[in-house]
Structure 1
Amino acid sequence: MLSQNFIEGCDRLNSATTEAEITTAIQRFIENKGFWSFNLGYLDTVNHSTNDAPLKWISTMDSEWEEHYMNEGYDAVDFAVRELRKERPSPILVGYELLKQKQTLTPTEEKYLKEASEANWQNGAVIPLGSLPMDNKPPVGIGVASDLKAEAFQKNWKEQSTEVLIFMNYMNQVLSQSMASLLYDIEALTVREKDCLAFLALGLRPDAIGDKLFIATVTVNLHISTARRKLKATTNAHAVAKAIRLNLI
C-alpha cells in the first residue's frame, strides 16, 4: 500500500508549474524518504548528440558546490551523467564508500567522489527516467543524495526504493511540459496545439485533424503554426519531432 507521503507528493506534482513549486514538491517527498537533496538533470540531446550533450538541471545542490562541479569539469567523471549517456541506462547507487568497495577508481573519480562526500553527498541513487532508445526523448534522470554512511544508506534505499522509483517516473510524466519549458526555454503548448501535433505525428492531414477535433481546417493550421513557433521548429515535421523528443505528445 502506498504511503500518505507518496499520495501527498503526487498531489503537489499535479499542481506544480513553476520551478519553485516543482522543487518544493520533490524536496518534501525525498526528505520524508531519508534524502536531503536532489539533482534533476536533462542531457540536451535536442540540440546536441548524446555523447556531447551538455547537462541542464533543476537542483537543490549548494550553489558553491555547483559552481565548483562545473569549473572542475566533474560532469565528465560523474557516474550519474555517464549512466544517462548509455544506450540503456539503469538505476545505480553512487558514493565514495559504495563505489570504492566495488571497483578501482581513477584519481579524478576518487577526487570527485571525495569532494562530493565533503559537500554532504555521502551516498545517493541515480534514477534514469524515460530514456529508452525507442522513446527518442532526451535522457533525463534524477539523483537523490543522503548524508548516511554506506551501510545505513543501503538499508534505507532497500526500504524506500519502490515508492521513490514510482514517484520519480510519475513526476517525469506529469511534469514533461514544465520541464521542457524550464530546461529548454520552450513556451507551453496548449491542449489543442498538442492534439494537432499528435494527429500530425499519426500522418493525418489538417482537414482530417479538423474533423477529429470538430474545428475548422484553418484553425488547425493556426494551432500547428503557433506550436511550430513555440518549439522553434522550421517545419511541421520538425515540430512533431521536437514535441516527441521533449515528451510533450
Structure 2
Amino acid sequence: MKNAVVDFLDNLFFAQTADELYAVSKAYFGDLGFRYVNVSYFQTETAQHLGMFSNMSQDWLSHYQLSGYSAIDPYIRMGDALDGRKVVSHDALLDCDSVRRDPVLQRLLLEGRQEGLQSSFLQCGVSRFMGLKAGINLILDRDVEELIRLQEEKRQELFVGAALAQSAFMACTKKEKLCAEYINFSGFQPRLSPREAEVVKWLAQGLRNDRIADKLKISTATVNFHIVSAKRRLDVKTREQLVAVAILQGIVEF
C-alpha cells in the first residue's frame, strides 16, 4: 500500500494541469479495479454542474450531455450534497420511489446499467476560497457487495488515494487546455430530441395531447413522456413556458 500511495502522491505533485491530474488518477484507480473514473466540478453557491472528466464511452457521454442528464444525475446530486465519502448501489437507486416517479432519471440509470455501471464510491470536498466543489465518482462494473469487499481489502489505498485526488483537483485551477475526456456543461445549450421538438411544435399550434398522439401515431402516454422530458431539459414548469422557451431559443418554429 505504502509504495502505491507514495507513487500516486508523487505523480499528483508533478501534474501541472487538470488533464494530467485526471490521467494520473484514472490510472491509479483503474489499478485498484475501478472501470470508470468521473471527476465533476460544481459551483458551491449555485450548485451548478460546471463540467466533468470521464472515461465513459464517447457515445454514452454524448447522449448524457444531449439529454441534459448532467442536471439530474443522482451521483452528481449526491456529490454536490456530500462532504466526505459514500458507497452506493445503482440497483438500489432504481428501486427508490423518487426514481420510479421520474422517467428521465430512470432512463439515465438504465442506460448506465447497459454501460456496465453497478456501484459507485463517491468522494467529495469543497474549496471555500475558490467557490468550487470537486466530486470523484469511482464506478465498478460489479455489484455493491463487491465494492464493499474491495473497500475492505484496499481501504487505505482507496480512502487515502481518493482524498489525495480530491484535494489535488480542488487545488488545480489550470483548466485552459482540457482534453477530450473533459465535458464543459456550463456553456451547453439544452436541446430537444427530434421527437420532443415535434411534440412541442404541435403544442405551439394549440393541439391537445390526444390530437398530437393521433398526428404522430403514438400513444397519449408517450406524448406526456416527451412533454415532461422536454420541460426538464429546458428547465421550465408549465407547457406554456415550454413552448415560449423553445420558440425563443429557436428550437422550434412558430
Whether the TM-score (by the shorter chain) exceeds 0.5 is yes
> Which residue matches 1:160?
154
Alpha-carbon spacing, 1:140–1:3, altered in 2? closer, same or farther (3 Å): same
1:82 to 77, 81, 93: 77
Match of 1:181 in 2: 174
Partner of 1:115: 111
Cα 1:116–1:183, aligned 2, differ >3 Å: closer, same or farther?
farther
**1:172 maps to which residue?**
166
- Decide whether the 8 Å contact of 1:69 with 1:75 is kept in 2: yes
Say yes or no: does 1:67 pair with 2:62.
Answer: yes
Pair 72,26 (structure 1): closer, same or farther in 2 beyond 3 Å: same
Q: Does 1:139 align with 2:133?
A: yes
State the structure with bigger RCO (CA 8 A, min sep 6), 1 or 2. 2
Map 1:1-249 → 2, pairs under 5 A:
2-45=1-44, 49-51=45-47, 53-86=48-81, 89-100=83-94, 103-104=96-97, 105-106=99-100, 107-130=103-126, 137-177=131-171, 179-182=172-175
Map Cα deviations across residues 206-248 of structure 1 (whole Å, 9 max, x no partner): xxxxxxxxxxxxxxxxxxxxxxxxxxxxxxxxxxxxxxxxxxx
Question: Which has the larger displacement, 75-84 or 63-72?
Answer: 75-84
Aligned counterparts of 1:90 and 1:15: Cα–Cα separation in 2: 25
Whichever residue aligns with residue 22 of structure 1, its letter is: L
Distance in 1 (alpha carbons) for counterparts of 2:116 and 2:135: 20
The residue type equivalent to 2:138 in the other structure is V
- Is the contact between residue 95 and residue 117 of structure 1 (CA under 8 Å) also seen in structure 2? no
Q: Does the CA contact (< 8 Å) of 1:79 and 1:94 recur in 2?
A: no
Question: Any idea what SS the aligned residue of 1:182 has?
Answer: coil
Q: Deviations over 1:147-169 (max 9, x none)?
A: 11232222213333443232222
Distance 1:161 1:98, change over 3 A: farther
- Aligned residues of 1:130 and 1:169 also touching (Cα < 8 A): no
Q: What is the RMSD computed on CA atoms of the aligned residues?
A: 2.7
Measured in 1, the distance between the counterparts of 2:78 and 2:129 equals: 17
Structure 1 residue runs without a partner (length 5+): 186-249
State the TM-score, normalizing by the size of structure 1: 0.60
Q: Normalising by structure 2, what TM-score?
A: 0.59
Structure 1 residue 68: deviation in Å?
Answer: 0.8
1:145 CA displacement:
1.0
Q: Which amino acid aligns with 1:67?
A: S
Q: Runs of 4+ in structure 1 displaced over 6 angstroms?
A: none
Length, aligned pairs only: 175
| Pairwise CA distance, 1:63 | 1.7
Alignment partners' CA distance in 1, 2:79 and 2:19:
25
The whole-number CA distance in structure 1 between the counterparts of 2:160 and 2:8 is: 11
Contact 1:5 1:32 (C-alpha < 8 Å) held by counterparts: no
Contact 2:136-2:166 at 8 Å conserved across structures: no
Identity between Structure 1 and Structure 2 (%): 20
